[in-house]
């Protein structure tokens, strides 16, 4: 059964230096509050997995938490580059960052394989694409029935998956809706999981086919209102596009980025304190 706890305790107890960590949310429900807490607790040498690294991993990479990134599309959506990711790849700042690059279809399939307790995923893809030349985990396999050559990629099995959802009940059953991305698969593929939620309620009032993560597949549930901002939580608040654009300037310069992290994350005690600083 999931333990209902503070985010600070969940990150302290479940995420260790050197862990393989997946923090998913496809533009929607990105677990920013949890990302901040990882920075605040100065976790190091993490292998970070995420289809779209987004600002959340730009912050973690620039703050020196990561030694490796596994990803499939690394931009600031609708804005441009992730400058901290680029600086780490192009100039090894603040430290060298190993990258392992895939396509979206590949990582989505690899999460399904992880959730299914299979060693690898099979898909039709990568023919003619040069990524397999630079990523030795992408291999091919001949279909034993038709002989068709298909791509094979290893299952993703994170030590910890972190996601954000709209609701949990008091037992720790989690409900999410809207754009679901790979969150369910990422939680089921992981050894441990943390779910931050907008609110904890008495009754989820979920319809039969709703996307529910039962309490017994989640380790920790933490109530963190606005915990996905500047991304959005369907039914709660919209994407903060102004922040995404502002990040382009903040993250472009190492000193400005470092000062921002110091003031907004290191020197705040939690996400609500961060939001107060941000509001000025």
Question: Exactly one of 134, 191, 199, 256 binds another protein (CB under 8 A); which one?
Answer: 134
Contacts of 113 (CB under 8 A, 6+ apart): 119, 120, 121, 153, 154, 155, 156, 189
Nearest residue (CB) to another protein, 10 versus 74: 74
Contact between 102 and another protein per CB under 8 A = yes
Task: Please report how close the Cβ of residue 17 comes to another protein at its closest, in angstroms.
Answer: 26
Q: Binding of another protein at residue 241 (CB under 8 A)?
A: yes
Q: Which of 47, 109, 173, 196 binds another protein (CB under 8 A)?
A: 109
From the list 3, 100, 178, 248, which residue makes contact with another protein (rule: CB under 8 A)?
178
Tokens of 197: 């939620």
Near another protein by CB under 8 A: residue from 57, 232, 247, 257: 232
The 3-state DSSP class for residue 99 equals strand
Q: Rounded to the nearest whole angstrom, what is the least distance from the CB of residue 15 to another protein in the complex?
A: 24
Name which of 32 and 111 has its Cβ closer to another protein: 111
Angle at CA of residue 67, ends 62 and 68, nearest 5°: 105
Q: Does 154 bind another protein (CB under 8 A)?
A: no
Cα angle for residues 176, 179, 184 (degrees, 5° grid):
50
Phi-psi category of 128—alpha, beta or left, where left has phi over 0 and alpha has psi -120 to 50? left
Provide the 10 A C-beta neighbour count for residue 63. Answer: 24
208 — alpha (psi -120 to 50), left (phi > 0) or beta? alpha
Cβ atoms of 40 and 265 closer than 8 Å: yes
Q: Select from 8, 27, 137, 258 the one that contacts another protein (CB under 8 A).
A: 27
Residue whose CB is less far from another protein, 75 or 225: 75
Give the residues lining the site for another protein (CB under 8 A): 26-28, 51-52, 71-75, 77-78, 81, 85-86, 89-90, 101-105, 108-109, 111-112, 123-131, 134, 148-149, 178-182, 184-185, 232, 234, 238-239, 241-242, 244-245
């Amino acid at each position: 059964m999931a333990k209902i706890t503070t985010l600070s305790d969940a990150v302290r107890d479940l995420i260790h230096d050197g862990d393989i960590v997946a923090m998913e949310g496809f533009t929607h429900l990105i677990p920013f509050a949890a990302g901040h807490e990882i920075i605040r607790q100065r976790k190091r040498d993490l292998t970070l997995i995420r289809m779209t690294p987004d600002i959340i991993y730009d912050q973690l990479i620039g703050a020196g938490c990561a030694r490796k990134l596994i990803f499939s599309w690394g931009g600031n959506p609708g804005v441009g580059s992730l400058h901290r990711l680029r600086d780490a790849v192009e100039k090894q700042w603040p430290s060298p960052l190993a990258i392992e690059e895939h396509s979206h279809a590949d990582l989505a399939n690899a999460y399904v394989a992880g959730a299914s307790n299979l060693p690898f995923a099979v898909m039709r893809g990568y023919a003619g694409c040069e990524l397999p030349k630079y990523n030795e985990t992408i291999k091919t396999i001949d279909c034993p029935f038709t002989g068709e050559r298909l791509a094979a990629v290893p299952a993703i099995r994170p030590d910890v998956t972190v996601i954000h959802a709209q609701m949990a009940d008091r037992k720790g059953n989690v409900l999410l809706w809207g754009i679901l991305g790979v969150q369910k698969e990422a939680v089921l593929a992981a050894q441990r999981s943390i779910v931050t939620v907008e609110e904890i309620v008495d009754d989820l009032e979920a319809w039969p086919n709703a996307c529910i993560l039962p309490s017994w597949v989640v380790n920790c549930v933490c109530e963190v209102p606005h915990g996905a901002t500047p991304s959005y939580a369907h039914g709660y608040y919209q994407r903060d596009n102004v922040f995404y654009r502002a990040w382009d300037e903040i993250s472009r310069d190492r000193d400005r980025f470092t000062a921002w992290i110091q003031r907004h994350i290191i020197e705040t005690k939690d996400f609500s304190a961060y939001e107060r600083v941000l509001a000025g």
